[in-house]
Amino acid sequence: MKLHELTITQAHKLLKKNEISARELTRATLEHVGSIEGKIGAYITLLEDMAMTQAESADQAIAKGNCHPLTGIPIAVKDLICIKGQKTTCASRILENFISPYDATVIKNLKRAGAVFIGKTNMDEFAMGSSTENSSHKLTHNPWNPDRIPGGSSGGSAAAVGADMCISALGSDTGGSIRQPASHCGVVGMKPTYGRVSRFGLVAFASSLDQIGPITKDVMDCALMMNVISGYDKSDSTSVPEDVPDYTAALKNNIKGMIVGIPVEYHSVKGLDPEVSAAVNSAVKLIESLGAECIEVSLPNTEYVVATYYVIAPSEASSNLARYDGVKYGFRDGEKQNLLDMYCGTRSKGFGPEVQRRIIIGTYCLSSGYYDAYYGKASQVRTLIMEDFKKAFETCDVIFAPVAPTPAFKVGENIDDPLTMYLSDIFTLSANLAGIPGMSVPCGFSSEGMPIGLQVLGPHFAEEKLLNIAYAFEQATDFHKQRPEL
Amino acid sequence: MKITREDIVHVADLARLDLNEDAIKKFSDQIGMILEYVEKLNQVNTEGVSPTTHAILLTNAFREDEEHQHIDIEDALTNAPEKEDGQFIVPKIVK
């Protein structure tokens, strides 16, 4: 096996036994990136020099006997998470030259564990999108078929993991932006419970929905990343002071007696591809054969999830993105002679079309006379969506669902049809609205060879249950071991 | 409810965005479709339902009012498009 193909668990074993060095691992990964980046387009910025310096420190730490599971592991970071002294562009022209003045809390934690950051990955501008086509920077191609999108908005991170261009990655998920690209690229992705992971240093999109989470090659690696990034942070007052367990201890490979809920409403979702449906159904059968019991549950407000989300998320975004005014940081339209014209020029030239579209929707929904009808109403329906899940979890431990209604679509296929693009988020949005954890694990391939993901959802802070059942599923299948031909 | 050209121009102005004719036309159509879709929320009976702005129950996060070292002025100004004497410079505000 080549070094860049290793999982965290495999690489850690070799590092600890001194069979490889962190420098060799980092160099091998960077060389592989160099050879296929032109084809995949996963990275906005490569951090070769910093990575080699960090790898050297990791080797010194290992020599002293300090080998944390992430020491010396090359990690890719979505380009909306701040690494001090490095660019954080959000794949937007408005932040194309922005240098992070501090480390995000997740970055601080990973640095303390000795991780190596090899680059910042491509994404939809400000994380708004499901295909990574809304990047001001470049297109990212799906490792399984370059004519197809990698998913989004964490498409660069998912493609990098899927193409072995890093050992693991960080993404962020506001409406499915970790789970959907993970599903499309055949890798594992987790959106933790809202508040489980600090958002300090994550560029805000919709603050009541955003969470950082791992994208990895298998479930064990996901647990290892969760161990390091989770926890209360006084710099993020919405992070939750719950103890962080050792998530690897949750991988018992025993799910006897677990109850899996299957939402009846999900069968009749329009546009659900029969191959996706079949792959999820086989996963249900397999999990039953492993000792879980599967029952039907109901999420009656499923039909209103997309509408609720596409009021709340743009509303929060329009407010969060008001800060980009060309004064304190980022791009400024220097041609304009007075302040108001400078604001308008900066924002119109700095933001791409999807971001402008969402700012306008959000501003409209929050504007005088429309607030109650749109934002107020959506916030009430959000309560009902949360209650649906609460009721469902009274009868089951976790829920199984598709991640996306179809495998990855073709580049350019939906770019001019925002509503169709939004509707494809139906299965992932509700976890963000309800604040519950969700993950995607590989569960099959379409007849055209594109990966399909199984989504596992659970109650607040039930990450251990999700990891346990996902691990049991993974141990009984080999989808996660398959690699694209590059 | 149909969204008009004037609505889009008005909201864009509130959001400090200059739209050209093409963008106004495109956004009117697309946002009109999206808002029409969103209207389906009116089918839901939400009488007496309290709104959710946060999915996790949180109490106020109080802390002592103590001084902390954050980033210094020099670092805070690194990304400024224009700066002088430790301050941000903006175009003229008063005519």
The answer to whether the CB of A74 falls within 8 A of the CB of A42 is no
- Which CATH number is associated with domain B5-43? 1.10.20
Closest CA of chain B from A434, distance in Å:
5
Give A-chain residues touching B11 at CB under 8 angstroms: 360, 363-364, 367
Query: Is-contact A177 A438, C-beta < 8 A?
Result: no
- Give the mean pLDDT of chain A: 97
Q: What are B52-93's pLDDT values in tens digits?
A: 998 987 778 888 899 988 888 988 999 999 999 999 999 988
- Residue A191, pLDDT score: 98
Runs of H (alpha helix) within A210-337: 219-229, 274-289, 305-320
pLDDT value, residue B60: 81
Which residues 328-387 on chain A approach chain B with CB closer than 8 angstroms?
A: 328-332, 334, 336-345, 347-348, 351, 353, 356-357, 359-361, 363-364, 367, 374, 376-384, 386
Partners of residue B15 in chain A, C-beta under 8 Å: 318, 322, 347, 359-360, 363
Give the residue from chain A lying closest to B39, CA to CA: A307
With CA atoms as reference, the chain B residue closest to A434 would be B55
- Asked whether B54 and B60 are in contact (CB, 8 A), the reply is no
Mean of the pLDDT values across residues A83-87?
Answer: 97
State how far the Cα of A31 lies from the Cα of A356, in Å rounded to an integer.
38
Alpha-carbon gap, residue B70 to A476, rounded angstroms: 49
Cα–Cα distance, A206 to A210 (Å, whole number) = 6
Q: Which residue has the tokens 């609505």?
A: B7
Mean pLDDT of A353-365: 97
Question: Which residues in A lie closer than 8 A to residue B91 (C-beta atoms)?
Answer: 336-339, 341-342
Q: Which chain A residues in 192-221 lie under 8 Å from chain B, judged by CB atoms?
A: 193-195, 208
d(CA A234, CA A212): 16
The pLDDT-based confidence of B1 (bands split at 50, 70, 90) is low
A311 contact B CB<8A: yes
Report pLDDT digits (tens) over A440-457.
Answer: 999 999 999 999 999 999
The distance of A416 to chain B (nearest Cα, Å) reads 9
Query: pLDDT, tens digit, for every residue of A256-276?
Result: 999 999 999 999 898 999 999
Residue B94 has pLDDT above 80, yes or no: no
Query: Per residue in A118-157, pLDDT tens?
Result: 999 999 999 999 999 999 999 999 999 999 999 999 999 9
Q: What does the pLDDT read at residue A335?
A: 83
Angle at A86 between CA A317 and CA A196, to 5 degrees: 50
Q: Which residues pair with A120 in a beta bridge?
A: A45, A77
Between the CA of residue A43 and those of A137, A363, B4, what are the distances in Å? 10, 32, 40
Task: Give φ, ψ of A314 to 5 degrees.
Answer: -65, -35
Tens-digit pLDDT profile for residues A27-41: 999 999 999 999 999
> Are B38 and A336 within 8 A, CB to CB?
no
A199, amino acid identity:
R
Q: Per the CB < 8 Å rule, is A301 touching B44?
A: yes
pLDDT at A373 over 80: yes
CA distance A117 to chain B (A): 22
Q: Check CB contact under 8 Å for A344 and B17.
A: yes
pLDDT of residue A106: 98
Q: Please count the residue pairs, one from chain A and one from chain B, whose beta carbons lie less than 8 angstroms apart.
A: 171
pLDDT score of A417:
85
Helix (H) or strand (E) holding A471: helix A463-475
Q: Mark yes or no for CB contact A347/B17 under 8 Å.
A: yes
A chain contacts of residue B7, beta-carbon cutoff 8 Å: 364
Q: Test B31 with A360 for CB contact under 8 angstroms.
A: yes
pLDDT at B69: 82
Q: DSSP label at A460?
A: T
Topology (CATH) of A3-252: Amidase signature (AS) enzymes (3.90.1300)
Residue among B17, B37, B91 whose CB faces A419 most closely: B37
pLDDT reported for residue A450 = 98
User: What integer pLDDT is reported at residue A285 of this predicted model?
Assistant: 98
> What tokens appear for A17 in the block?
């036994």
- Cα-atom radius of gyration of chain B, to the nearest Å? 23
ipTM, interface predicted TM-score of the complex: 0.95
**For A52-75, what is each residue's pLDDT tens digit?**
999 999 999 999 999 999 999 999
Which of A237, A374, A377 is nearest residue B46 as measured by Cβ atoms?
A: A377
User: Which backbone phi and psi does A420 adopt, to 5 degrees?
Assistant: -60, -40
What is residue A467's predicted lDDT score, i.e. its pLDDT?
98
Q: How far is CA A249 from the centre of its chain?
A: 23
Q: With pLDDT > 90 as the criterion, what percentage of chain A qualifies?
A: 96
Nearest-Cα residue of chain B relative to residue A461? B56
pLDDT band per the 50, 70, 90 thresholds, residue B95: low
- Note the pLDDT tens digit of each residue in A197-232: 999 999 999 999 999 999 999 999 999 999 999 999
Residues of A marked active site are found at 78, 153, 177
Q: Where are chain B's structural domains? A: 5-43
> Collapsing DSSP states into helix, strand and coil, what is residue A457?
strand
pLDDT above 70 for A171:
yes
